[in-house]
Amino acid sequence: MDANFVNFASHLHPIFALKRIKQSMNFKELGLNDQMLEAIAFMGFEKATPVQEKAVPEILAGNDLIACAQTGTGKTAAFVLPVLDNLTKDHKHETSVLIIVPTRELAIQIDQAIQGFTYFTPVESIPVYGGGGGSDWDSEKRALTSGADIIVATPGRLISHLNMGYVKFNAVKHLILDEADRMLDIGFYDDIIKIINYLPKKRQTLMFSATMPPKIRQLASKILTKPKEVSIEISKPAEGVLQAAYLTYDTQKTPLIDSLIKDKPELNSILIFSSTKLKVNDIVRELKKSEKSIHGISSALDQTKREEVLSNFRAKKTRVLVATDVLSRGIDIKDIDLVINYDVPGDAEDYVHRIGRTARASSTGVALTLVNEDDMYKFKGIEDFIENEVMKIPLPPSLGQAPEWNPEQPKFARGSFKSNKRKPTGKKKPFHKKRKYQGKKKEN
Ligand code: AMP
Residue nearest atom 6 in ligand 1 by C-alpha distance? 72
What is the predicted pLDDT for the residue at 9? 47
What is the predicted pLDDT for the residue at 132? 65
Question: Domain spanning 18-232 has what CATH number?
Answer: 3.40.50.300
What is the predicted pLDDT for the residue at 409? 60
Q: Which of 20, 362, 364 to mutate to test the pocket of ligand 1 (most atoms within 8 A of CB)?
A: 362
Q: For ligand 1, is residue 125 a contact (CB within 6 Å)?
A: no
Q: For ligand 1, is residue 361 a contact (CB within 6 Å)?
A: yes
Q: For ligand 1, is residue 70 a contact (CB within 6 Å)?
A: no
SS (HEC) of the chain: CCHHHHHHHHHHCCCCCCCCCCCCCEHHHHCCCHHHHHHHHHHCCCECCHHHHHHHHHHHCCCCEEEECCCCCCHHHHHHHHHHHHHHHCCCCCCCEEEECCCHHHHHHHHHHHHHHCCCCCCCEEEECCCCCHHHHHHHHHHHHHCCCEEEECHHHHHHHHHHCCCCCCCCCEEEECCHHHHHHHCCHHHHHHHHCCCCCCCEEEEEECCCCHHHHHHHHHHCCCCEEEECCCCCCCCCEEEEEEECCHHHHHHHHHHHHCCCCCCCCEEEECCCHHHHHHHHHHHCCCCCCEEEECCCCCHHHHHHHHHHHHCCCCCEEEECHHHCCCCCCCCCCEEEECCCCCCHHHHHHHHCCCCCCCCCEEEEEEECHHHHHHHHHHHHHHCCCCEEECCCHHHCCCCCCCCCCCHHHCCCCCCHHHCCCCCCCCHHHCCCCCCCCCCC
What is the predicted pLDDT for the residue at 378? 87
Residue nearest atom 21 in ligand 1 by C-alpha distance? 45
Residue nearest atom 1 in ligand 1 by C-alpha distance? 74
Q: For ligand 1, is residue 109 a contact (CB within 6 Å)?
A: no
All CATH 3.40.50.300 domain ranges of the chain, comma separated, are 18-232, 241-434
Q: For ligand 1, is residue 71 a contact (CB within 6 Å)?
A: yes
Q: How far apart are CA 79 and CA 60, in angstroms?
A: 10
Ligand 1 centroid–CA 2 distance in Å is: 17
Q: For ligand 1, is residue 49 a contact (CB within 6 Å)?
A: yes
Atom of ligand 1 nearest to the CA of 69: 2
Ligand 1 centroid–CA 391 distance in Å is: 28
Q: For ligand 1, is residue 358 a contact (CB within 6 Å)?
A: no
CB-facing half-sphere around the CA of 44: CA atoms within 13 A: 3
Ligand 1 centroid–CA 361 distance in Å is: 5
Q: For ligand 1, is residue 48 a contact (CB within 6 Å)?
A: yes
Instruction: Write down the pTM of the prediction.
Output: 0.60
Q: Which of 21, 28, 36, 43 to mutate to test the pocket of ligand 1 (most atoms within 8 A of CB)?
A: 43
Q: For ligand 1, is residue 343 a contact (CB within 6 Å)?
A: no
Q: For ligand 1, is residue 333 a contact (CB within 6 Å)?
A: no
The pLDDT tens digits along the chain (444 residues) read 344 444 444 444 332 322 233 446 789 899 999 999 999 998 888 889 889 999 999 999 999 999 988 776 789 999 999 999 999 888 888 999 999 999 888 899 899 999 999 988 889 999 999 876 656 899 999 999 988 999 999 999 999 999 999 999 999 999 999 999 989 988 999 999 999 999 999 999 999 998 888 899 999 999 999 999 998 754 556 667 788 999 999 999 999 999 999 888 888 899 999 988 889 999 999 999 999 999 998 878 888 888 889 889 989 999 999 998 766 665 667 778 888 999 998 777 778 877 877 655 555 678 899 999 999 988 988 887 787 889 998 899 899 999 999 887 655 443 332 223 233 333 332 333 222 222 233 343
Domain 241-434 falls under CATH 3.40.50.300: yes
Atom of ligand 1 nearest to the CA of 27: 19
What is the predicted pLDDT for the residue at 301? 82
